[in-house]
């Protein structure tokens, strides 16, 4: 267990879809009643809303955002574990958290942990452009495959910022003696439980593209396959991991470069996502019919708003193949309960 009278926990992304759900879930459990969570937050209005929603179980710290590296290092250095569920595409801010944890370890001699949220697009192929790795034909198992090694191989030829961030965390952790665990998810769906954003980003991207184009769209033929997980099941995986860290020091978790685990609990094609969006938008009277139009990558990069107009990000994140098997999580006792019925009912 973490050798601290009251382990200090830091969470980033508390105002987001994933982080808000994780925070709400953990705070609802009697198991963690003794824990309070420090949350890095942008904007005084968000600080007030977090306190109003969660009370004294959260301790918001105002900072300037992901480029405020000095604050990130300083705050992380005061904590025993960080759950990083904020932006997974920002290398410097993620490494700042690891550096802070390294300072904590050097000062106390105790184990410290970085639990990082990443995504399976890191393993994806590029079915339209033909670039990248050959992962489209593979199914990756986190208990038997060298995920770290495969990502390093891809990164050496075709860098991808989310993958760069993840690998940087693992490598920095090894260098500084910070124990890291990466939870790599596919499409995360469902209604979030947090006080702020409660909608899946990837589903919203498809909805916004449909509304902008006047009909549902997909990249290419939409035949790429991905795994998905309900956001509440994902939050339960974070609970499983944190419980193991607090109770046994993470004795049952994978070690070193093998600390990359999956969370998939179902599989879909991108055509299936586009058709579900088409059906929902048409039923709501927002588009004229429920047909799905295929678009090329250049047009898709403009229609699908991923925060950056980058064909690389759009292809990997919204049409690639990335099939995974979550053996490690299930071996830890994780038991997701929302399967095919929940997915069909509403992947949003």
CA 159, CA 321: separation in Å to the nearest integer? 17
Task: Please give the pLDDT value at position 274.
Answer: 96
Level-2 CATH architecture, domain 9-198+229-264+325-345: 3-Layer(aba) Sandwich (3.40)
Strand pairing report for 113-119 and 37-41: unpaired
Q: What percent of the chain has pLDDT over 90?
A: 82
Task: Single out the residue of 171, 172, 190, 274 nearest to residue 228, CA to CA.
Answer: 190
| CA distances to 310, 318, 343 from 191, in Å | 27, 20, 11
* pLDDT category of residue 134 using cuts at 50, 70 and 90: low
Task: Please give the pLDDT value at position 312.
Answer: 86
Task: Please give the pLDDT value at position 155.
Answer: 95
**CB 101, CB 10: distance < 8 Å:** no
Task: Single out the residue of 217, 204, 210, 209 nearest to residue 303, CA to CA.
Answer: 209
Task: Please give the pLDDT value at position 89.
Answer: 84
Task: Please give the pLDDT value at position 325.
Answer: 97
* pLDDT category of residue 88 using cuts at 50, 70 and 90: confident
Residue range 259-309, pLDDT digits in tens? 999 999 999 999 999 999 999 999 999 999 999 999 999 999 899 987 766
List phi, psi (to 5°) of 153: -65, -45
Q: Which two tokens stand for residue 57?
A: 């179980």
Is pLDDT of 5 > 70?
Answer: no
* pLDDT category of residue 135 using cuts at 50, 70 and 90: low
What value does the mean pLDDT take over residues 60-83? 95
What value does the mean pLDDT take over residues 317-343? 95
- Chain mean pLDDT for the chain: 92
What value does the mean pLDDT take over residues 5-28? 93
Is pLDDT of 137 > 90?
Answer: no
Global pTM?
0.94
In residues, how long is the chain? 348
Is pLDDT of 44 > 70?
Answer: yes
Residue range 217-247, pLDDT digits in tens? 999 999 999 999 999 999 999 999 999 999 9
Residue range 173-219, pLDDT digits in tens? 999 999 999 999 999 999 999 988 888 888 999 999 999 999 999 99
């Amino acid at each position: 267990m973490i050798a601290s009278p009251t382990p200090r926990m830091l969470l980033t992304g508390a105002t987001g879809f994933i982080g808000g759900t994780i925070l709400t879930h953990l705070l609802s459990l009697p198991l963690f009643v003794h824990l309070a969570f420090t949350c890095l937050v942008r904007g005084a209005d968000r600080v007030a809303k977090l306190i109003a929603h969660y009370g004294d179980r959260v301790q918001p710290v105002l900072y300037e955002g992901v480029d405020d590296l000095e604050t990130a290092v300083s705050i992380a250095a005061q904590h025993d574990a960080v759950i990083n569920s904020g932006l997974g595409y920002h290398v410097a801010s993620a490494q700042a958290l690891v550096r802070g944890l390294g300072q904590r370890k050097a000062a106390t001699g105790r184990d410290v942990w970085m639990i990082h949220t990443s995504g399976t697009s890191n393993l994806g192929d590029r079915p339209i452009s033909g670039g990248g790795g050959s992962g489209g034909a593979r199914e990756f198992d986190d208990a038997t495959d060298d995920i770290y090694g495969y990502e390093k191989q891809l990164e050496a030829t075709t860098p991808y910022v989310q993958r760069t961030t993840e690998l940087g965390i693992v490598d920095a952790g090894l260098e500084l003696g910070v124990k890291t665990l990466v939870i790599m998810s596919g499409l995360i769906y469902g209604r979030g439980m947090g006080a702020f954003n409660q909608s899946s980003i990837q589903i919203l991207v498809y909805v916004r593209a449909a509304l902008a184009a006047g009909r549902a769209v997909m990249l290419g033929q939409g035949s790429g396959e991905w795994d998905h997980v309900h956001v509440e099941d994902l939050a339960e995986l974070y609970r499983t991991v944190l419980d193991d860290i607090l109770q046994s020091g993470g004795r049952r978790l994978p070690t070193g470069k093998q600390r990359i685990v999956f969370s998939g609990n179902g599989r879909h094609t991108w055509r299936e996502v586009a058709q579900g969006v088409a059906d929902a938008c048409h039923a709501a009277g927002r588009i004229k019919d429920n047909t799905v139009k295929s678009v090329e990558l250049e047009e898709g990069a403009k229609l699908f708003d991923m925060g950056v107009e980058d064909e690389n990000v759009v292809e990997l994140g919204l049409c690639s193949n990335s099939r995974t098997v979550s053996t490690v999580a299930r071996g830890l006792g994780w038991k997701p309960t929302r399967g095919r019925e929940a997915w069909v009912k509403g992947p949003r």
